[in-house]
């Protein structure tokens, strides 16, 4: 059965002309032992909610996964797909691409992400287990992992956090082949990796990775030990190809027909390319059906629930929020209107979402050691070794794994994760945020401290380019609310989204309430809208602003109107939603006539699409500085006075 993986992989890689044979050949026995003897899965029901999760964190070895899925009978991974490995539109892409219905639990390739996703899946399982009980949610999360994933910082963060949380249903299977792309691992690592895991509180089992019985024993030990388990499996990279096995070239050196012939001779394999002997096929299909009884029993337990409980579980796993949650958003808007005093922007966000915490138990908040300044914990208990019903995760100062595990929770299903930190530190999360966008996962990334408005902590903590960098990312929705009402609308947009992540960008400072309407209409959902229209004549100036700068625009408009210049203020919390509106609406909002001035405490990059060639931006041209916020706004010329004078200059008046 292991050889079937080997030959399918080599056949597909030969046909594609490229690929990474090291992992499928080196982990064939481990994969066989897992799928044929341990993993709780049913090929006929890939999205069975209580299946074990399996993540191939060393995603370059994708043919291992495709071979497993094909052999065990996943309908979407037919032989035609395997044969089109790495071709356009094949389910068998160069790296695994998230598709639970095909058995692919996560997009992997950028190293370290997969094991951090697995950590998130294990957290999701633990929380849902506490919520729904052993009968409904009780599964393992397995990840195959190479040296690269363990060298990456995000991987190290995952090891530390998983050990700290004591996630006993998480297991990594380490492909300890002593080879990376550059050659021997001795080039870049001297430490005993197993000991590093032991220090972090993991259960470690060391085995020969080509010994099926040893693997089975290790898996059973992983399942029963209360700690997370590392199975350190000593393997030979590219095992089976005499020319490459155990060598640097085993990783991904080009394969030739002679290599296949040598492997066939070595393993006495007579089948033609892509052909699998019937007995082996049948054994694999049996593996894919192995858990049919267990699956049926689970279904029976689900059906035995009260119809209400069952509906809650099914709704939760489907990612649908409980009916009526938008009423809570509306109530938050009305509450803001009822008390229109200025609010700390990030606190307003906490006020809104925390009002949903009880009503929407799938909201799970992770934060990177900034509980007090970001203010989103509220009445949530901490998720901890001793309390799996908690749903606020103290991640420590580990932003990267925070984002990756949020992805893993979303990919698991049943959780609506929010990850919270300062906007300046979003750069630490960025590789994972990209994966959320690529996978289309509905993660909410919440950011505070979004500009020079943070003041004295200085330029390291003052984003100026990060809004642009996030807006440039495909499928990442970026929303920067101007006040508490827009903040509520932003949360409504974010939680309504099911096909991708949202970044919510809040200020540290107090923002006045600018909106004076609180109805079910979500004005932010159009991306931009006229907050205050020009009066006294045809519009001559349009002030376009986001977040904390909308208040500056509003002040400037008052002065301009007083000077007889009909001026509109446009709040544009979400550029991509606005960009998706029809041309007529965009033109109406941006101003059919007159000049346009953007106001944002950030760089101009990207603004030209709204300002046109003649527009001006009142913003930043470089990094910030350390000083009081109001001094910084004056220093960098982001004031109502500057907006007024530059508007007048653009109009050619004095």
> Interface with its own copies includes 94 (CB under 8 A)?
yes
Per-residue contact string for residues 486-515; x = within reach of its own copies by CB under 8 A:
------------------------------
Q: For residues 406 and 487, which CB has a smaller minimum distance to its own copies in the complex?
A: 406
Q: Are 362 and 380 in contact (CB under 8 A)?
A: no
The owner of tokens 């997009």 is: 107
Q: Which of 55, 140, 255, 424 binds its own copies (CB under 8 A)?
A: 424
Rule CB under 8 A: which of 10-49 touch its own copies?
A: 16, 18
> Interface with its own copies includes 622 (CB under 8 A)?
yes
> Interface with its own copies includes 585 (CB under 8 A)?
no
Token output for 140: 């393992």
> Interface with its own copies includes 428 (CB under 8 A)?
yes
Return the exposure string of 18-44: e unless at least 16 CB atoms fall within 10 Å of the residue's CB, then b: ebbbbbbbbbbbbbbbbbbebbbbbbe
Distance CA 593, CA 599 (A): 18
Distance CA 137, CA 381 (A): 21
Q: Which of 135, 217, 246, 373 binds its own copies (CB under 8 A)?
A: 373
> Interface with its own copies includes 427 (CB under 8 A)?
yes
Q: For residues 214 and 405, which CB has a smaller minimum distance to its own copies in the complex?
A: 405
Partner residues linked to 505 by β-bridges: 447
Q: For residues 332 and 469, which CB has a smaller minimum distance to its own copies in the complex?
A: 469
The owner of tokens 């990775």 is: 209
> Closest by alpha carbon to 593, among 563, 572, 566, 618?
566
Q: What is the dihedral of CA 465, 466, 471, 477, to 10 degrees?
A: -160
Distance CA 362, CA 339 (A): 29
> Interface with its own copies includes 628 (CB under 8 A)?
yes
Angle value at C-alpha 49, between 44 and 53, nearest 5 degrees: 85
DSSP assignment of 432-476: HHHHHHHHT---EEEEE--SGGGGGG-GGG--SSHHHHHHTSTT-
Rule CB under 8 A: which of 45-74 touch its own copies?
A: 59-60
Q: Which of 1, 149, 511, 541 binds its own copies (CB under 8 A)?
A: 149
Instruction: Let me know if 366 is exposed, middle or buried by CB neighbors in 10 A (0-12, 13-18, 19+).
Output: buried
> Interface with its own copies includes 105 (CB under 8 A)?
no
> Interface with its own copies includes 631 (CB under 8 A)?
yes
Distance CA 282, CA 31 (A): 17
Considering the complex, what minimum distance in angstroms separates the CB of residue 455 from its own copies?
8
Partner residues linked to 366 by β-bridges: 393, 419
Distance CA 57, CA 55 (A): 6
Per-residue contact string for residues 187-216; x = within reach of its own copies by CB under 8 A:
xxxxxx--xx--xxx---------------
> Interface with its own copies includes 93 (CB under 8 A)?
yes
Helical packing angle, 640-650 and 549-562, nearest 10° = 60
DSSP 3-state percent helix, strand, coil across the chain (nearest 5): 45, 15, 40
Instruction: Number of residues interacting with its own copies: please give it, by CB under 8 A.
Output: 108
Token output for 461: 């903590």
Q: For residues 420 and 565, which CB has a smaller minimum distance to its own copies in the complex?
A: 420
Distances (CA, A) of 207 to 112, 170, 250, 533: 22, 18, 21, 71
> Interface with its own copies includes 380 (CB under 8 A)?
no
Instruction: Assign 3-class secondary structure to 248-297.
Output: HHHCCCCCCHHHHHHHHHHHCCCCCCCCCCHHHHHHHHHHHHCCHHHHHH
Rule CB under 8 A: which of 303-322 touch its own copies?
A: none
Token output for 636: 């960098």
Is 399 one of the catalytic residues?
yes
Token output for 450: 């979004």
> Closest by alpha carbon to 93, among 12, 27, 3?
12
Q: Which of 78, 315, 559, 623 binds its own copies (CB under 8 A)?
A: 623
Rule CB under 8 A: which of 448-477 touch its own copies?
A: 455-461, 464-465, 468-469, 471-475
Q: Which of 90, 347, 349, 548 binds its own copies (CB under 8 A)?
A: 90
Q: Where would I find the beta strands (DSSP E) of 333-379?
A: 343-344, 363-367
Q: For residues 126 and 370, which CB has a smaller minimum distance to its own copies in the complex?
A: 370
Rule CB under 8 A: which of 320-349 touch its own copies?
A: none
Q: For residues 100 and 396, which CB has a smaller minimum distance to its own copies in the complex?
A: 396
Partner residues linked to 183 by β-bridges: 180
Considering the complex, what minimum distance in angstroms separates the CB of residue 44 from its own copies?
27
Considering the complex, what minimum distance in angstroms separates the CB of residue 317 from its own copies?
27
Q: For residues 32 and 451, which CB has a smaller minimum distance to its own copies in the complex?
A: 451
Per-residue contact string for residues 595-614; x = within reach of its own copies by CB under 8 A:
--------xxxx-xx--xx-
Q: For residues 471 and 646, which CB has a smaller minimum distance to its own copies in the complex?
A: 471
Out of 157, 362, 399, 600, pick the active-site residue: 399
Chain-centroid distance of CA 115 in Å reads 13
Q: For residues 34 and 452, which CB has a smaller minimum distance to its own copies in the complex?
A: 452
Q: For residues 369 and 581, which CB has a smaller minimum distance to its own copies in the complex?
A: 369
Stretch that binds its own copies, among 274-282, 284-292, 325-333, 363-371 (CB under 8 A): 363-371
Per-residue contact string for residues 153-172; x = within reach of its own copies by CB under 8 A:
xxxxx--xx-xx--------
Q: Which of 81, 107, 291, 548 binds its own copies (CB under 8 A)?
A: 107
Q: Which of 61, 148, 240, 408 binds its own copies (CB under 8 A)?
A: 148
Catalytic residues: 399
């Amino acid at each position: 059965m292991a050889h079937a993986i080997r030959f399918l992989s080599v056949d597909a890689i030969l046909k594609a002309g490229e690929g990474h044979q090291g992992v499928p050949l080196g982990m064939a026995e481990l994969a066989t032992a897992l799928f044929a003897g341990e993993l709780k899965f049913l090929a006929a029901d890939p999205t069975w909610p209580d299946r074990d999760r399996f993540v191939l964190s060393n995603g370059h070895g994708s043919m291992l996964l495709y071979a497993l899925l094909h052999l065990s009978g996943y309908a979407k991974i037919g032989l035609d797909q395997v044969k089109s490995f790495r071709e356009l539109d094949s389910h068998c892409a160069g790296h695994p691409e998230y598709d639970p219905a095909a058995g692919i639990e996560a997009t992997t390739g950028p190293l370290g992400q997969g094991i951090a996703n697995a950590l998130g899946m294990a957290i999701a399982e633990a929380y849902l287990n506490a919520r729904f009980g052993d009968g409904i949610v009780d599964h393992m999360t397995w990840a195959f992992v190479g040296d690269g994933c363990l060298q990456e910082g995000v991987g190290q963060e995952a090891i530390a956090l998983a050990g700290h949380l004591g996630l006993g249903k998480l297991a990594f299977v380490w492909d300890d082949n002593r080879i990376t792309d550059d050659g021997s691992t001795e080039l870049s690592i001297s430490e005993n990796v197993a000991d590093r895991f032991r220090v972090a509180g993991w259960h470690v089992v060391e085995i020969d990775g080509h010994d099926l019985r040893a693997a089975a024993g290790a898996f059973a030990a992983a399942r029963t030990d209360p700690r997370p388990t590392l199975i350190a499996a000593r393997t030979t990279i590219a095992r089976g190809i005499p020319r490459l096995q155990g060598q640097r070239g085993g990783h991904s050196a080009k394969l030739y027909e002679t290599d296949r012939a040598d492997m066939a001779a070595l393993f006495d394999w007579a089948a033609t390319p892509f052909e699998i002997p019937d007995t082996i096929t049948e054994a694999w299909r049996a593996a894919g059906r192995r858990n049919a009884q267990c699956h049926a029993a689970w279904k029976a337990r689900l059906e035995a629930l009260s119809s209400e409980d069952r509906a809650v579980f099914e709704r939760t796993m489907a990612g649908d929020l409980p009916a009526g949650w938008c009423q809570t958003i509306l109530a938050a808007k009305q509450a803001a209107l009822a008390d229109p005093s200025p609010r700390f922007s990030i606190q307003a966000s906490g006020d809104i979402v925390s009002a949903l915490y009880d009503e929407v138990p799938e909201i799970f908040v992770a934060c990177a050691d900034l509980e007090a300044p970001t203010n989103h914990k509220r009445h949530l208990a901490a998720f901890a070794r001793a309390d799996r019903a908690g749903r606020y995760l103290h991640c420590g100062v580990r932003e990267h794994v925070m984002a990756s595990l949020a992805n893993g929770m979303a990919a698991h299903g049943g959780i609506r994760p929010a990850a919270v930190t300062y906007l300046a530190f979003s750069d630490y999360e960025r590789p994972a945020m990209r994966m959320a966008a690529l996978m289309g996962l509905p993660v909410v990334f919440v950011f505070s401290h979004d500009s020079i408005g943070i003041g004295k902590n200085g330029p390291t903590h003052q984003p100026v380019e990060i809004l642009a960098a996030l807006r440039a990312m495909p499928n990442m929705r970026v929303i920067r609310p101007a006040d508490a009402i827009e903040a509520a609308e932003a949360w409504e947009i974010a939680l309504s989204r099911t096909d991708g992540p949202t970044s919510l960008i809040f200020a540290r400072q107090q923002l006045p309430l600018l909106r004076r309407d609180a109805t079910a209409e979500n004005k932010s959902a159009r991306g931009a809208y006229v907050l205050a229209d020009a009066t006294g004549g045809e519009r001559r100036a349009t002030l376009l602003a986001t977040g904390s700068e909308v208040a500056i625009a509003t002040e400037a408009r008052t002065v301009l109107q007083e000077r007889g210049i009909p001026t509109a203020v446009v709040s544009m919390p979400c550029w991509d939603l606005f960009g998706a509106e029809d041309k007529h609406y965009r033109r109406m909002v941006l101003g059919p006539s007159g000049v346009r001035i953007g106001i944002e405490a950030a760089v101009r990059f990207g603004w030209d699409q709204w300002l046109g060639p003649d527009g001006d931006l009142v913003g930043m041209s470089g990094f910030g500085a350390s000083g009081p916020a109001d001094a910084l706004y004056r220093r960098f010329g982001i004031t109502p006075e500057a907006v007024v004078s530059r508007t007048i200059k653009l109009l050619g008046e004095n």
